[in-house]
């Protein structure tokens, strides 16, 4: 078994892997009158999975990620699990393998973020070096803004690596865990509402810290940095560039996400400040850290298969160098791996079923139309768009024209 397969089984996944976070939007707006059964699609090709989902009256949402052992175009995870009963027309999430990664990726622990707020979950996953993606669903039992489920969880990749025969068992275990968490979240919500109390966060003591260090402490405390104002300190011992006051003050209990305004000792003359090292941070976090340290930020984007989308690949100048306050720091932000390409196969003259299988095996979708032909037997492909040999994005649609047989000339009138 490959190195990455053993990583999945140990509750670890490759750095940069996609993690879909399902967040509650609160109760349904109206009564649900019709339900549909989610088909089991793990191990199927993408095309077969989407067809099965559509045939069951559901919509499919496809996300892609690399997998060391699963063939490109193979479904490696789904949510909800096969056999679940959901409102008709709901979305079924299908995670499809993009094949082996282009580069070896280090292993990171996969956090469990179910029951967290959306903001907390995204922070945890970003800090773990993963690539979160948010999906919203209505829920009668989970408060709005709370994570209902995630894909993958610590069972998903292990099940997919061992083969689809074990996938149901692992996913049923996951469903049980999710159900328990949902019940706990619902109970917490009810008790919290009855007691009229809300979770509070403590403002850290950042007085005396450099602005960049104060920013980190505030973000770590679950809060945000508000305005940063330079003032002339009344205390002559205060160092230029350090925090002399925060609003709210240290140790104040506040709601999550509260903005903490800072007053910073004013600098005079051309003061040089050490550039913070923001490589590996998200674009938003890196920009906040640099701006609060007194620098201007210019952002450029670049594809990189080894750095998660939205995270900083590099910076100029590098962290640790001294620059005048107000200087510009350029950060290069990853857009993730380049779009996967697929070559369009030649299906001219093939039967409809053979053409569909060939196109799906290439990681593409097939759409058909019909037309008469004197030269191509009924049921076989007359033409295709795009043409054979074309390079297209993986998952693109190939339209084929299926022959209905010779043109019916009909009878001429008297």
Q: What is the pTM of this model?
A: 0.38
pLDDT at 174 over 70: no
**Cβ–Cβ under 8 Å, residues 292 and 239:** no
pLDDT at 177 over 80: no
Minimum mean pLDDT among 32-36, 165-169, 230-234, 241-245: which range?
165-169
The residue ranking higher by pLDDT, 176 or 102, is 102
Note the pLDDT of residue 1.
38
How does pLDDT run across 72-89, given as a tens digit for each residue?
A: 899 988 888 888 888 888
Residue 358: pLDDT band with limits 50, 70, 90: very high
Q: In what order do the strands lie in the sheet with 224-231?
A: 224-231, 259-265, 243-247
Minimum mean pLDDT among 119-123, 143-147, 233-237, 335-339: which range?
233-237
How does pLDDT run across 89-122, given as a tens digit for each residue?
A: 888 888 888 888 777 778 888 888 888 888 888 9
The residue ranking higher by pLDDT, 34 or 284, is 284
Cα–Cα distance for residue pair 66/70, rounded to 1 Å? 9
The residue ranking higher by pLDDT, 393 or 384, is 384
Minimum mean pLDDT among 54-68, 230-244, 269-283, 302-316: which range?
230-244
Q: In what order do the strands lie in the sheet with 147-151?
A: 131-137, 18-24, 147-151
Minimum mean pLDDT among 78-87, 194-203, 267-276, 292-301: which range?
194-203
Query: pLDDT averaged over the chain?
Result: 80
How does pLDDT run across 123-136, given as a tens digit for each residue?
A: 888 888 888 888 88
Among 62, 73, 161, 134, CA closest to 340: 73
- Please report which helix (H) or strand (E) contains residue 21, including its range: strand 18-24
Note the pLDDT of residue 237.
67
How does pLDDT run across 225-262, given as a tens digit for each residue?
A: 888 888 877 765 677 778 889 999 999 998 877 889 99
Note the pLDDT of residue 160.
47
Cα–Cα distance for residue pair 125/19, rounded to 1 Å? 8
Cα–Cα distance for residue pair 129/307, rounded to 1 Å? 8
**Cβ–Cβ under 8 Å, residues 24 and 148:** yes
Note the pLDDT of residue 220.
75
pLDDT at 166 over 60: no
In the chain, the percentage of residues whose pLDDT exceeds 70 is 81
């Amino acid at each position: 078994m490959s190195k990455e397969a053993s990583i999945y089984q140990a509750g670890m996944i490759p750095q940069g892997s996609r993690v879909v976070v399902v967040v509650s939007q609160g109760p349904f707006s109206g009564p649900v009158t019709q339900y549909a059964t989610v088909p089991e699609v793990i191990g199927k090709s993408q095309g077969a999975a989407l067809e099965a989902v559509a045939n069951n009256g559901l919509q499919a949402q496809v996300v892609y990620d690399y997998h060391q052992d699963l063939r490109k175009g193979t479904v490696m995870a789904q949510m909800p699990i096969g056999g679940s009963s959901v409102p008709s027309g709901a979305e079924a999430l299908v995670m499809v393998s993009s094949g082996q990664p282009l580069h070896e990726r280090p292993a990171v622990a996969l956090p469990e973020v179910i029951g967290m707020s959306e903001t907390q979950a995204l922070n945890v996953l970003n800090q773990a070096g993963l690539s979160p993606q948010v999906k919203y669903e209505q829920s009668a039992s989970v408060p709005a803004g709370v994570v209902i489920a995630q894909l993958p969880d610590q069972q998903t990749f292990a099940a997919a690596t061992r083969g689809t025969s074990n996938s149901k068992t692992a996913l049923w275990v996951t469903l049980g865990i999710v159900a328990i968490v949902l019940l706990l979240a619902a109970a917490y919500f009810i008790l919290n509402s009855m007691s009229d109390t809300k979770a509070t966060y403590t403002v850290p003591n950042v007085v005396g810290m450099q602005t960049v260090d104060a920013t980190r402490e505030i973000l770590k405390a679950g809060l945000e940095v508000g305005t940063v104002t330079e003032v002339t300190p009344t205390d002559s011992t205060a160092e230029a560039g350090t925090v002399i006051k925060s609003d709210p003050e240290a140790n104040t209990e506040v709601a999550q996400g509260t903005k903490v305004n800072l007053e910073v000792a004013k600098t005079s003359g051309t003061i040089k400040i050490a550039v913070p090292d923001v490589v590996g941070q998200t674009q938003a976090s890196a920009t906040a850290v640099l701006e609060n340290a007194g620098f201007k930020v210019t952002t450029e984007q670049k594809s990189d298969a080894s750095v998660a989308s939205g995270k900083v690949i590099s910076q100029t100048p590098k962290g640790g160098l001294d620059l005048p306050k107000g200087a510009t720091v350029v950060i290069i932000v990853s857009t993730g791996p380049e779009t996967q390409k697929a070559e369009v196969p030649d299906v001219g003259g093939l039967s409809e079923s053979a053409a569909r299988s060939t196109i799906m095996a290439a990681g593409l979708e097939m759409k058909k139309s019909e037309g008469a032909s004197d030269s191509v037997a009924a049921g076989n492909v007359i033409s295709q768009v795009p043409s054979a040999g074309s390079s297209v994005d993986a998952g693109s649609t190939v339209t084929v024209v299926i022959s209905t047989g010779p043109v019916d000339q009909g009878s001429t009138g008297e």
